[in-house]
């Protein structure tokens, strides 16, 4: 997956979990929880959805690396480079 596809993938997962949130103007370097309503259970759902859709295991000690969209791209880039984008809630 490319950088842009990873951003789309994360936004799609968030849209599935929090369908009422506006995701179009998310800043890359601001914590997701500071931009949209995500609680700790929502975050766990994001991690579980990454595992379900892409087979990516995120150990609990790495959760903070997924705090921002940029962090998600940096952390997930190597893990998703050979994967195809899967979307459910957004049109890619």
pTM value?
A: 0.89
| Torsion angle defined by CA atoms of residues 58, 14, 78 and 34, in that order, rounded to the nearest 10 degrees | -80
- Across the range 33-58, mean pLDDT stands at 94
| Residue 33 to residue 65: CA distance in whole angstroms | 13
Using the predicted structure, report yes or no on whether residue 61 has a pLDDT greater than 90: yes
Q: Are the C-beta atoms of 11 and 90 separated by less than 8 Å?
A: yes
Q: Within 10 Å of residue 57's Cβ, how many Cβ atoms?
A: 10
List the domain boundaries for the chain.
3-80
Q: 36: which residues sit within 8 A by CB, 6+ positions away?
A: 14, 18, 21, 22, 23, 26
pLDDT bucket at 91, cuts 50 / 70 / 90 = low
Q: What CATH class is the domain 3-80? A: mainly alpha
pLDDT bucket at 62, cuts 50 / 70 / 90 = very high
- Across the range 61-72, mean pLDDT stands at 96
């Amino acid at each position: 997956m490319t950088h842009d596809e990873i951003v789309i993938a994360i936004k799609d997962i968030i849209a599935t979990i929090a369908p009422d949130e506006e995701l179009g103007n998310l800043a890359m370097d601001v914590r997701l929880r500071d931009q949209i309503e995500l609680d700790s259970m929502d975050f766990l759902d994001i991690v579980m959805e990454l595992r379900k859709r892409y087979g990516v295991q995120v150990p609990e000690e790495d959760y903070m690396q997924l705090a921002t969209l940029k962090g998600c791209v940096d952390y997930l880039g190597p893990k998703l480079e050979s994967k195809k984008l899967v979307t459910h809630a957004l049109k890619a």
